[in-house]
Amino acid sequence: MRLDSLILVVPAKADPERDTVVEAWLSAGGTVERLDRFWEPPAGLDRQRVKLYGNDAFCLVVAQKLQLSLLSPDEQILITVPESLRMRSVQLKRLGTLAAHDFPKFAKPVVPKQFRGAVYSSLAELESECRGLDASTVVLLSDVVSLRAEARAFALDSVIRTVGVYAGEANPDHAAKFAERVVNALELPRTCVVDVGLLDDGTWIFIEANATWGAGLNGCDAWAAAPCIAAATEAV
């Protein structure tokens, strides 16, 4: 995808990874608009050329203001993934139905940012984190697994464009090969970011899928990620 006619709109606040993407975008001939008061984007922006990259609040608000569509994977996709790819039990439960025997578990909200996704050793620990949330809040619970390494892959049109090992040590080519197997096995948007992990026994597993427009590089190449980021925003 050519970037020389496109405008990358990002938050004004500096961020090392995002700034690396900005540099790659500018080097490819594109233009960049940094917004401070993002809830009031400039009226002169050509929405047909705008592509968004930043945190959830920034991108969702600007997308609404400019009538843009952001491509995102299904928040519950982990439930539908074949166990041969995820290699662990995953279930959805409401916060009020959880019991002490459900833990320890990795827990994350189905609605992003409701609480911190992490390993919780007990129900009391999760309840403390979720204080103030309604008992009907849907929680994704996953068995805790020991990972030797974790890697992130930016995908576009079912092809892995760049991969970075962001935790532990692993062969990036092996991570990319497994990530490509994942994106070809699942119902995903045209572009997304796939996180995969390496178990102690050498088996790769699917961790989660994230929206390209809000994902950090985590060791991936900014030049290769830029076309993926561009594809994640569409004019309505």
At 44 the pLDDT is: 86
Under DSSP, the state recorded for 114 is S
Q: 179 with 188: CB under 8 angstroms?
A: no
**Would you give per-residue pLDDT tens digits along the chain (236 residues)?**
789 899 999 999 999 999 999 999 999 999 999 999 888 888 889 999 999 999 999 999 999 999 999 999 998 898 889 999 999 999 999 999 999 999 999 999 988 789 998 999 999 999 999 999 999 999 999 999 999 999 999 999 999 999 999 999 999 999 999 999 999 999 999 999 999 999 999 999 999 999 999 999 999 999 999 999 999 999 98
Alpha helices in 44-149 (DSSP H): 56-66, 77-80, 83-86, 123-129
Tell me the CATH class for 146-210.
alpha beta
Of 208, 207, 147, 198, the residue nearest 172 (C-alpha): 198
Q: Is 1 exposed, middle or buried (0-12, 13-18, 19+ CB in 10 A)?
A: middle
